[in-house]
Amino acid sequence: MKKLLFAFSVSSLMAGTASAQGSVTLYGIVTGNVTYSNNAQTAATSPSGKPKGGSQVAQFDSGSSGLASSRWGLKGVEDLGGGLKALFQLENGFSVNNGAIGQGGTEFGRQAWVGVNGGRYGTFTLGRQGDTSVEFVSPLIYGWYWGNLAIHPADYDNLNFTHRINNSLKYLSDSFNGLRFGALYSVGGVAGNVTQNQLWSTGASYTGGAFAIAASIVNARNPNTSLYGTNANASATGNNLGSAGSATAAESNPAIAGFASANTQQTISVAATYTAGRAIVGAAYSTTQFRGLGSNSSLNTLHYSGSTRLSTVSASLRFQATPFLRFGTSFDYTEGGSVNGKESAKYEQLNLGAAYSLSKATDIYVTGAYQHASGTDSLGRPAVAAIGYLTPSTTSNQVAVSAGIKHLF
């Protein structure tokens, strides 16, 4: 009897596997680098009223200052017949230095979604995923030329995919002669108020020969929760945009930390590239409005009201010198809007990067950035430089250099 049951179980499993006609792919990036910064805060305040610190810092990190962050994931597809396919993707971020889970301890914090592909009818997915700016605009701005040091201040426009969207339904079209489009909607999940924490986005891209262009709009209600508060370690009531720091802790994201009380955040972004031989020339523009400041009074410690914005104009050049060596440079100018009559902050940043391919899967690289800040930041303080995901400087200037290795599998 036991032998009969075992044989039945095995045959049932084999039949299920055969009929599914599916596949699962394991993939990932393992990367590590050493990063040098000429200036970093140790505390936000001092007897003189200026940030404390200012020392040089050299540290290991798991790609957060390099070309890409470490991750592993699973992709699955099953042919359902009639041109339909079931899809899923689970992606985990981690630190190669100590094995810690990224995205605030969220196990599949980078992506976790399931959906259906209908061929020429496009793809519908449901879960934790990127908005349309990440899907269409980001590929034309960022890449393996200068890395994470080159993000716009505090990644305020999310074009470097710092923030994922929970509880979201996304549609992406198939390509129609180079044209693609899509939309995303995330439900708020608040009883009695379906729009309180909702997020929606829409975007499109077109590629024709050497030219490519993309645009997107992202609108988040109560962005402190719906956009910045989507990781496992996010605060239910505190500031998820950043921190003013303290006598024992440095500032975090001073470009936007003071805007956590906004009722709505809306970002419009557009980018274009032109390929000429081995060179790619690019330009981009993004603008983010923080509307309804003061709507969350518990987060409005600076007593802001009305709205403000951050806008960035970018230009870039990428060049494939040989089949193995590539390099690039970009320049970003970011300007903030005034709030409560205070002077806005300005950030100017130059980025450089180079990578050499040891194989199809392994690169060694070096990236660098210089940023100069001026004016008054979101915390109502003299703006300090803050490159990438690094600790902000004590002054208006900061230089950072990162070198490392990246392996794909």
pLDDT at res. 196: 85
CATH class of the domain at 24-408:
mainly beta
Neighbour-count burial of 87, counting CB atoms closer than 10 A to its CB (0-12 exposed, 13-18 middle, 19+ buried): middle
Query: What value does the mean pLDDT take over residues 335-344?
Result: 85
When pLDDT is cut at 50, 70 and 90, the band that residue 376 belongs to is very high
When pLDDT is cut at 50, 70 and 90, the band that residue 142 belongs to is confident
pLDDT at res. 191: 64
Reply yes or no on whether the pLDDT at 354 is more than 70. yes
Closest CA to 377 of 224, 223, 141, 156: 156
Q: N- to C-terminal Cα distance for the chain?
A: 45
When pLDDT is cut at 50, 70 and 90, the band that residue 145 belongs to is low
2 against 29, higher pLDDT: 29
Reply yes or no on whether the pLDDT at 85 is more than 60. yes
d(CA 314, CA 64): 21
Residue 303 per-residue DSSP state: -
Reply yes or no on whether the pLDDT at 5 is more than 60. no
* Helix or strand (DSSP H, E) at 146: none
* Helix or strand (DSSP H, E) at 138: helix 138-141
Reply yes or no on whether the pLDDT at 367 is more than 50. yes
Mean pLDDT of the chain: 91
pLDDT at res. 60: 82
- Are 154 and 177 spatial neighbours (Cβ–Cβ below 8 Å)? no
21-50 as b/e: b if 16+ CB within 10 A: eeeeeeebbbbbbebebbbbbbbbbeeeeb
Instruction: Give me the amino acid identity at 209.
Output: G
Could you read off the pLDDT of 302-330 as tens digits, one per residue? Answer: 999 999 999 999 999 999 999 999 999 99
SS3 155: helix
Reply yes or no on whether the pLDDT at 2 is more than 50. no
Altogether, the residues listed in the chain come to a count of: 409
Could you read off the pLDDT of 174-210 as tens digits, one per residue? Answer: 999 999 999 999 997 776 677 789 999 999 999 999 9
Give the 3-state secondary structure percentages of the chain, helix then strand then coil, rounded to 5.
15, 50, 35
pTM value?
A: 0.91
Take residue 62 and report the two structure tokens written for it: 């798991």
Closest CA to 302 of 340, 330, 247, 343: 340
Distance of CA 70 to the CA centre of its chain: 14
Query: What value does the mean pLDDT take over residues 293-300?
Result: 95
- CB contact set of 11 (below 8 Å; sequence gap of 6+): none
- Are 258 and 383 spatial neighbours (Cβ–Cβ below 8 Å)? no
Q: Please report, rounded to a whole number, the percentage of residues in the chain having pLDDT higher than 90.
A: 80
pLDDT at res. 341: 77
When pLDDT is cut at 50, 70 and 90, the band that residue 9 belongs to is very low
